[in-house]
Each structure stands twice: as C-alpha cells, then as structure tokens.
Amino acid sequence: MRFALKTALVSSMVAAASAAAVGTSAAVTPAATSSAAAAPVASSTPAPVVASTAAPPAATTAPPAAATTAAAIPASVSFASTGPSAVPLASITQGAATAPTGTLHPTLVPTPGATGPISGAPPLPSWSFVPGTFPPLDLVPPINSPQVSAWIQEVANSGITIPSIAATNPGGCPNNTAAVADTSACWWTCGECTRPTDITTCPDKLTWGVSYDDGPTPYTTDLLNFMSDVDIKSTFFIVGSRAISWSQTLQAEYMAGHQLSVHTWSHPYLTTLSNEQIIAELGWTREAIRQITGVSPNTMRPPYGDIDDRVRAICQAMGMTPIIWTSVNGQDFDTNDWNIPSGVSVDTVGEEFETILSQAVNELSTGFIVLAHDLYQQTVELATGYILPSALAARNPSFNLMPIITCQHKPLGDAYVETNNNVTNPFTGNANPLNGTAAITGTMNAGSSATGTGSTSSSTTTAKSGAEPVYGGMGAVKAVAVLAFAVVGGAMLVM
C-alpha cells in the first residue's frame, strides 16, 4: 500500500513540476525513466537557484492533487505545545494557500571561506553552479561518464562482494511475488528486514534521532530558523537534485552543525536499478554535497526505505552506512507528514505522532529515529508549529532530541569522509576505509563511455523479511569519493 501511494504521489508531483521550473532557466518535461518513481527530464545545464529566498520550484508551491481533496475542517488532534509562529492546524491541508518563504536568520547565513563547525574540515567553499557538470535533474544519472566510471572502479577495488541479486520490478510487493517469498536478500520494502549494518535506532532509551528528508527546499529555511531558536540539531537526508537548487540552504544546514547524509540523486527505488545506476545515484549526490559544503557524507538513507543486500553491499563498498527509521511491531516511526499535500489530514499525522511517542516510551528499550520531511510548506509548518514544540514540551518522561550521528555516541566529524577519525568509525561489520579516488571534478559528458568494471544486477530475485529501516554503522571512507546533487526546479520526491 505504501509503495503504491507514494508512487502515485510522486507521479502527481512530476506533473506539477513539468509545468514550469520557477527561478531556473531549465524547462522540465516528463519522460520515462528506469526508476520505479517517474521523474521529470531537465536540461543537463540548468541554472540553479542558490539563494534560499528565491522563488521555489513549481512542485513546492503547488502540492500534488489527490483523487479526493480533504475538506478544510477544524483539526481535533491535540498537541502538547505549539510554536510561537504556528499557523492554525485547520489551515495545514492539501489545498493550503501558499505562504511566503522565509529568510535565514542573519546568524545562519553562510559565509564562503568561513571555518566549518568541525575541527579539521575545509573552509566553506564559495560555490556556484557550472553548467554541464551534473547529470539531468531528477533522473537516474547516465552510467557512461568518467565520474561514474571512477566510482564503479572504486566499488570493484573495495574488496566488497556485491551479491548477485536481481533488480526488483517496479510496482512493489504485488509485482514481486518471487522476491517476497524468498527472504534471503533482506528486502526492507516487503517485510522491513534489516541487517546489523543498518542504523535503525538510537542506543539510549528516550533518545530521539531527528531526521528530515528530501530537501533542501524553500521551506527548509523556516525549519532551520526554528531549530536555531530552540537549539535542536537534526540529520538532513539530501536529494542531490535539490542541493544544487538551494545550495545556500545546504551550506546553512552544515554550518549550523546539523548532520548531512545522502538521499540519492533522483529519489528512485534503489532495488529496481542496476548496480551501476545505484553507484551513480549515490556518487553524484555525495559529490554535490562535497562541492557545496566541503565535506562528503559517509551515510545514506534509501528512498522509501527500499534496500536489500545488493544495495547494502554497494553502499558499503562506497563507504556509506544505511540509515532508516525505527519500527515496532510493524508500526513505522513515520509521521506520514509527506502525505498531507495528497489529502491526508493533520489529525491523522498527529495521531501517528502520538502513537510514535507512546511506543517509544512503552515498547522500546532503546531510543528511536523518526521519519519526517522538510519537503513541503505543510510539513514544515507542522514541524515548527506543533511536532517539535510538543517534543520539547515538559513530558514525563522527557525526550532528548539530537542528530542521528550524535545519538550513536559519535562526534559530528565522524559523519564525513574528510573529518572522520577512522578510530571510532566505521561500526563493526561496516566497510573498511577505502584507499581511493580523490575528488572528481570536470564536465559531465553523457555521451562518454565508462570502462570501469563492476557487478551487474542479475541472478534470482530474493526478498527480505523482518524489521524496520534505520541507519546502521557509519562507514568511514578515507577516499574522497564524490557525489553531486543537481536539482533545479524539479519535482520534490518523498521519503
């Protein structure tokens, strides 16, 4: 059900994004793609929006239409506390009027050349987009480029064996009966199977690993301002195509001491892709973050939680530890906020939130990781007006909110290749530091051929059973492998 709902939501976002790319010179038109979630085609030479105050992409100003529009009725859910600038709950709906986007607090505005928040990190780059250096936006990147060839070779040289597990079919569990029946490949999507190398919880009870997916977006600014006001840090899972559109916001996240992590280039179901396509999705995203902030994340979150042992092995070979979110007795710690623009009521989301907190207190001996999004106006309004204020309100017992790297008892520096001390990281069972490629730069040439070797996805499909998604051990990558996100005016994708 989740697979189908989110795929439908993505399709509607694609349609909205194809109408126009506000604030960019790249026209976006729909096209077929090999990813399970269709994505818009964009020019490979977009002009990104670099100021967080710029006009947002069309998909963010016009949330996707749903088959049935939820009525704007007074919300009945009760929150423990509200933020000082909270909008009425009844206005956080599918058809909410577009609110003006905020501007960063002066103290959060990043300054190129400034010293980073982590000892030993390079100065904050003075970054500007160079046309032709990134793949087309919101599409699975081509694999026949020098950059991807180098990353394929990095995986081949890692010593990590990539299991011969067939790619899954688009369409989720109903369209993959053989994979569902065979649990040996630990496919999270159909059974919520996890491995010890996945991070899915925080070790300490009542510790809340805060995370926001799919940004940065024009609305992330308001979330950053609120977090600064109340002194909360989060983990942000970055979509490559968004990072280049909102590079100043990405820099502000990093400089404020939040953790950055890879969330792929085009937000596909990773198990539907070939090995080489998975490598390209991860590599370009990491490189975009590196170019904009100076650091390369060594963790990732699979879109939709869609991961199996083949995807895990590729992540391990690239020095990235998977992070998912907590699940208890089949209940995901997913706020479901991403579905408000498609018609889900704020009452439903509020009830999910209260269920999560109740389970965290009564059913978990550990801490937990919650899935939320800085994707839409509605998701950020709910976070800053209700979810986070309620989390911080006096409770008995109370929760400790922090980034996922921090809840793992790791310093923030261990979240990045350049500052990882390689002593406390990686976790047991994760990839050893790679002696590998230096940062790759240069022009993206979709017509060039890649000659690097690597396993292709073949063999029998296998499914997984089991637990929930979360991130496991944090992989240290000595090599500065590069991933770049280029997203300008495309559709916003969820989870």
Instruction: Please tell me which residue in 213, 306, 332, 337 is annotated as part of the active site.
Output: 213
Tell me, yes or no, if 263 is annotated catalytic.
no
| Under 8 Å between Cβ of 55 and 219 | no
The neighbouring-strand residues paired with 241 are none
Q: Which helix (H) or strand (E) holds 392?
A: helix 388-392
Q: 389: which strand partners?
A: none
Residue 368 is classified by DSSP as E
DSSP helix/strand/coil, 60: helix
CA distance 13 to 10: 5
337 as an active site residue: the answer is no
Residues 324 and 328: their CA atoms lie apart, in Å, by: 13
Cis peptide before 397 (omega within 30 of 0): yes
DSSP-derived 3-state class of residue 114: coil
Evaluate the CA torsion angle 339, 345, 350, 351 in order and state its sign.
negative
The residue to which tokens 């942000």 are assigned: 236
Which residues on neighbouring strands pair with residue 28, listed in sequence order? Answer: 42
Fill in the amino acid letter for 361. Answer: V
CA distances from 198 to 202, 313, 417, 472 (A): 12, 11, 18, 3
Residue 120's CB is within 10 A of a number of other CB atoms, namely 11
Q: Which amino acid is at 208?
A: W
Instruction: Locate 452 and state its tokens.
Output: 């690097």
> Is residue 242 a contact partner of residue 266, using CB atoms and an 8 Å limit?
no
Residue 174, number of CB atoms within 10 A of its CB: 12
The H-assigned helical ranges of 363-471 are: 377-382, 388-392, 404-407
User: Can you tell me the distance from the alpha carbon of 92 to that of 336, in angstroms, rounded to the nearest whole number?
Assistant: 14
Question: Which DSSP state fits 373?
Answer: E
One DSSP character per residue, 199-236 reads B-S-SSTTEEE-EEEEE--TTHHHHHHHHHHHT---EE
For the beta carbon of residue 128, count every other beta carbon within 10 angstroms. Answer: 11
Residue pointed to by tokens 């923030």:
412
Residues contacting residue 154 through CB under 8 Å, at least 6 positions apart: 317, 318, 434, 436, 437, 479, 481
Residues annotated catalytic, as ranges: 213, 373
